[in-house]
Structure 1
Amino acid sequence: MRSMKHGPVMDMDARSSALGNGLSRKPAANRLYQTSTMAALLDAVYDGDTTLDELLHHGNFGLGTFNALDGEMIVTDGVVRQFRAEGLAAEVPGSLKTPFACVTYFEPEKTLTLDRPHSRESFEALVDQLVGNPNLFAAMRFTGQFERVDTRTVFCQCKPYPPMLEVVKKQPTFTLNSVTGTMIGFRTPGYMQGINVAGYHLHFLTEDQKKGGHVTEYRLVRGLLEVATMSDLEIKLPRTEQFAQANLSPEHLHDAIREAEGG
C-alpha cells in the first residue's frame, strides 16, 4: 500500500513568503478553510474567484469542485486532482478556479485500525463515536481495502448554468469493486446545512491514483482510520455577480442537498 504523508505541507510560494517575513512556523493544523457555500452551488453558482494555488495556501487535504462544475476535486498530500465525467483522476494547473472547496492541514488526533467489514452506516457511527463532539466539524481519512465504492462525477456545464439538481440527474456513476485506496472528507454539524453539507461529504482516490470521485455508497473491508476535530472555520465568499444574485435560503434546502449529494 502506498505510504501516506500525514504532516502539513506548505507550498513553495507560501514557504518563501513566510521566510521573507522572518517566520518559520508551520501552518495551523485542523483549521477548515472553505470557498463559498453549498447553498450557492445548489443555485448554480458554478464560477468562483479562488484559484487552486490560493486554495493550497490554506490546506493540503480536502475536496470540492471546479469552475463550471467541471468534475470533482480531491486534495491529498498537497496535490489537487480532478475527476471528470469519465471518473479518471488527473493533476490540474494551479491557475484553475473553484466555486466550492474545503481544505485543511490535516493532522490526525485519533487513529484506529479496522480489521472487519463496515457498511457506510456502521462506519459513520464509528467515526462519530471516535470524534465525540457532534457540534464540531471533523476531518477523516480511511486508507485501506474496500469491497465496493460507488462514485459519481459531474459534467462541465455551459452558461446559462442549470440548477444542480438538474445536473445530478445526468451524472455519470461508477462502481469500483475489490479496490484499495483512500477515502477522505469532512463531517459537518447539522446546524451548518447550506453553509456546507450536513453529515458526511467524502471523496475517493484509488491506490494507483487513477480513479475515484464523489462517494455515494461504500463497504470497506479493513484499513486505517484517522480523524481530527475542527473548531476553527474560515469562509471566503465570492464577489461575483452570480453569488450576489443567488437564492441562498430556498425552501426544502435540506432535502435538495441530500438529493444533490446522493445521500
Structure 2
Amino acid sequence: MVRSGQTGLRQDTQGAPEHGESKSKQKPVANRLYQTSTMAALLDAVYDGETTLDELLQHGNFGLGTFNALDGEMIVTDGVARQFRAEGVAAEVPGSLKTPFACVTYFEPEQTVSIDEPLDKAEFEALVDRLVGNPNLFAALRFTGLCEKVDTRTVFCQCHPYPPMLEVVKKQPTLTLNAVQGTMIGFRTPAYMQGINVAGYHVHFLTEDQKRGGHVTEYKVTRGTLEVATISDVDIRLPRTQQFAQANLSPDHLHQAIQEAEGG
C-alpha cells in the first residue's frame, strides 16, 4: 500500500543575493537541474571534463555522475560527493576532482509517499510517473528505506586511448545487495532528451552506513519513503575541449546503445 502526502565533500553554496539581501539569507533555486556535458558524449568516450566537484556543488546538493577517466560512479547526497570504485566501495572525494558528466539539483520534494509493500523496478517507476504526471518534464526522486535487493555496477578508471563505453561496461564489476537499508536517488528524463541525458530512469544507491552502492541496474523496494519533485528548469554546460568537438553525438542506434550502457 502507498500513502501520500505533500510536502566528505560538502558545499552548501547559495545563489547571488538580490539587492538589499545578505548572501547568507539567499536560498538557492530549488529543483533546477544543472548538467555537465551529455550522455552521448560519454558514450563516445569523452571521459575528461573541465568541471571540478567544487564547481559542480555550487549548483546542487543532490545528484549523480562519474569522474574523469570514467573513474567510478558518483553520488551526491546532502551536499556530499562520494565515489564508488571497485566492488561498489564508497568514499568521499576532494573538490579538485573533475567530472565529464554529472547532474545535480537542490532537491526540495514536492510530494512524499510512504511505501509499505514490495515494489519491483517497473512498479516503482510507474508510481513515480503517476506522482509526476507530466511525461515531458524531468523529475528528481529519492527513496529512503529497505530494499529486498539492489543490483549495482561500477565503471572503472580508463587509460588513453579511451575505449568506447559499450566496451567498458562489458567488464564492469557488479554487486548485489540483499535486504539492505539505504538511499536511492536519481532522475527521470523525458524520452525526447535521449542522448542529452539518459531517457527514463537513472538512479544510484548508497547504503545506510554510506560505505557501498553504485549505479543501479535492478532493484526491489520493500518499505520506506519516496520523495519526488518535478523539474522544468534545466542548465546544460557543454565542454569546449577538443575531445568533445570531435565526438560523434548522433550515432546510429543511440537509444539501444544508451540502454545497454546503463543496464536498462
TM range (shorter): over 0.9
Residues 1:50 and 2:56 aligned together? no
CA RMSD of the aligned region, Å? 1.8
SS state at 2:256 partner = helix
Q: Structure 2 counterpart of 1:28, which letter?
A: V
2:96 is the alignment partner of 1:95? yes
CA distance in 1, matches of 2:155, 2:21: 41
Alpha-carbon distance in structure 2 between the residues aligned to 1:71 and 1:158: 13
Deviations 1:53-72 (A, max 9, x none): 00000000000000000000
Counterpart for residue 85 of structure 2? 84
Q: In structure 2, what residue type is equivalent to 1:170?
A: K
Give, in whole Å, the separation in 1 of the partners of 2:69 and 2:159.
7
Question: TM-score with structure 1 length normalisation?
Answer: 0.93
- Report what 1:123 is aligned to: 124
Residues in 2 aligned to 1:36 and 1:11: alpha-carbon distance in whole angstroms: 22
What fraction of aligned residue pairs are identical, expressed as a percent? 79
The aligned residue for residue 226 of structure 2 is 225
**SS of residue paired to 2:255:** helix
Partner residue in 2 for 1:157 = 158
Query: Which secondary structure does the structure 1 equivalent of 2:87 belong to?
Result: coil
Deviation at 1:85, TM superposition (A): 1.8
Q: Which amino acid in structure 2 is aligned with residue 237 of structure 1?
A: L
Supply the distance in 2 between the matched residues of 1:131 and 1:15 (Cα, whole angstroms).
27
C-alpha distance in 2 between matches for 1:260 and 1:141: 23
Q: Distance in 1 between matches of 2:163 and 2:212?
A: 27
Q: Take 2:153 and 2:236, find their aligned partners in 1: how far apart are those partners?
A: 26
- Secondary structure of 2:42's counterpart equals helix
Task: Tell me, in whole angstroms, the C-alpha distance in 2 between the residues paired with 1:225 and 1:43.
Answer: 34
Mark the CA change 1:230 to 1:15 in structure 2 (over 3 Å): closer, same or farther: closer
CA contact (8 A) 2:16 2:26 kept: no
How many residue pairs align between the two structures? 254
Paired AA for residue 11 in structure 2: D
- Structure 2 partner of 1:7: none
Shift of 1:155: 1.0
- Who is 1:65 aligned against? 66
Q: Structure 2-normalised TM-score? A: 0.93
Q: Which residue of 1 aligns with 2:242?
A: 241
1:11 CA drift (Å): 2.9
SS in 2 for 1:197: coil
Does the Cα contact within 8 Å between 2:183 and 2:205 map onto a contact in 1?
yes
| Amino acid corresponding to residue 11 of structure 1 in structure 2 | Q
Name the structure 2 match of 1:11: 11
Q: In the alignment, does 2:177 pair up with 1:176? A: yes
With over 3 angstroms needed to count, the CA separation of the structure-2 counterparts of 1:241 and 1:106, relative to structure 1, is: same
Structure 2 portions without partners, runs of 5+: 1-9
Shift, 1:25, TM fit: 1.4
